[in-house]
Amino acid sequence: MAIEREIAIRFLRAKKRRSLLSLISVLAVGGVGLGVAALVVVLAVLAGFETNLKNKLMGLSAHITISKASFGPSGNIANWREVSSKIKSVPGVVSVLPFINGQAMVGTGEGANGVLVSGIDPVIASESGYFKHLNLSAWTEENLTQRPMRAPWLEYQEPFDSWPEDSEPSEDLLTEPVTESGLDSEADSEETEPAPLQRPIIVGRDLSYMLGVDTLSLVKVISPFGRITPLGNRGPLSRIFTVAGTFRVNYYEYDTRVVYTTLEEAASLFGINPGEVTNIEVYVDDIYQAANIKQEILRILDYSEYYAVDWMERNLSLFSALKLEQTAMFVILTLIILVAAFNIASTLIMMVTEKTRDIAILKAMGAPAALIRRIFTIQGMLVGGVGTLGGLTVGVILCLALKRYEFISLPPEIYLMNTLPVEMRPAQVLAITVVSFLISYLATVYPASQAAKVDPVEALRYE
């Protein structure tokens, strides 16, 4: 291969009378490099979007959600502690959280907003690390279980632990006259003295801005299915809650549409029997084994009473769209390399035309057709290889710069992230390299075969 490579390099060296040919070679190299760099950057950004979105969804939503089958004896899970113990025994399960979820309306004097109320067990959620995804402060977690509640500014005035046991929180912050007739027992409805509110609620930071509330503010939560009416159906029920704190996950739909309270308060709000939950959320160590773990959980429980949905089923359309977008962008940007491949083919065809005499001399000296074919194949691969390596270098540098300096910001309410995410995947970079070299090789097939067919007698007849 040494002689073929040497001749190919000498053919590529520019001469003054071949300036146009050299220009076409430079354009071919630039075209391949531009296409490869664009592919590397675009696919890295799309991969970053996919990973970033997947991490947010995995941190906020369960890997597997267990619910009672609609045709079962009840729509709620009554023995959730026993069910949770069985689920924990399945290999691969990391944590199990009971939830009560329901739609409600949260309102203040500033406005109202429809939300998803999630009732959780604060102790289990804290031990499992669920609160880490919500970025809750320590005092916010304590407000879910301890009374009276406290705000961060109270830490600089009077320590929470030093309050006398017989003292009560300030009436303007923590008390509200009980005026919800018909919501509790008759004795409660007849009470006229102010009573400390014991109902905590945690709202998203963006939702707190929309409602104009802060820690220790009062909000009214209206449930459409809270109490049984004389007609036998469930009617609206409203309760006054105290904001125990706020959370923020930089996911706009989540920060404005979800609120948290305790299991007991959620059960009371939605008219669910104490001790029951609407679903159990399961977190596993390997999210890509969620489907297999789900089947094992259903086998241990009972297929006839429970059903389960894993994160892939719940977000199938979203991730399928992301995969389709990556494939489409790969195909579209590969066309840039194809355009450059035409330049490579043009360069080689012009080279064959110009070097016909040299080819004839080589063949007259005994050079086989295979050697001539390899000369022009190597020549085309050199052009494609330089463009590919140059494009990879530029693409990787751009990706590292985007990841390091984050100079492109995004509106989180639209894209669910603050900056342009970048993730270079070795498999994608390897695929881009292979495709680029393959296209460059295919561009050399026709010119190289034509060069190998040169008849030395005809080429040298008039020399």
Closest CA to 351 of 2, 20, 4, 30: 20
Listed in sequence order, the residues at least 6 apart from 248 whose beta carbon sits closer than 8 Å to its beta carbon are 134, 135, 204, 205, 206, 255
Burial 162-171 (b: 16+ CB within 10 A, else e): eeeeeeebee
Rg, the chain, Cα only: 34
**Number of neighbouring beta carbons within 10 Å of residue 2:** 6
Tell me which amino acid residue 88 is: K
For position 413, what pLDDT does the model report? 66
Tell me which amino acid residue 221 is: V
Is residue 304 within 8 Å of residue 112, measured between CB atoms?
Answer: no
For position 138, what pLDDT does the model report? 83
Closest CA to 248 of 208, 199, 201: 208
For position 275, what pLDDT does the model report? 86
Integer angstrom CA distances of residue 215 from 108, 218, 419: 14, 9, 29
Is residue 255 within 8 Å of residue 204, measured between CB atoms?
Answer: yes
For position 304, what pLDDT does the model report? 78
Q: What does the pLDDT profile of the chain (463 residues) look like in tens digits?
A: 677 778 777 777 655 455 666 777 788 889 899 999 999 999 999 999 888 888 777 767 889 999 988 654 457 888 899 999 999 999 999 999 999 999 999 998 777 899 999 999 999 998 888 888 888 888 888 888 888 888 877 655 444 444 444 444 444 433 343 334 333 433 343 333 344 457 999 999 989 999 999 988 999 999 887 666 666 666 688 889 999 999 988 777 888 999 999 999 999 898 888 889 999 999 999 888 999 999 999 999 877 788 899 988 888 888 888 888 888 889 888 888 888 888 888 888 888 888 888 888 888 888 888 888 998 899 889 989 999 999 999 999 999 999 988 888 888 667 777 788 999 999 999 999 999 999 999 999 999 999 888 888 777 776 6
Distance CA 155, CA 92 (A): 41
pTM summary value:
0.70
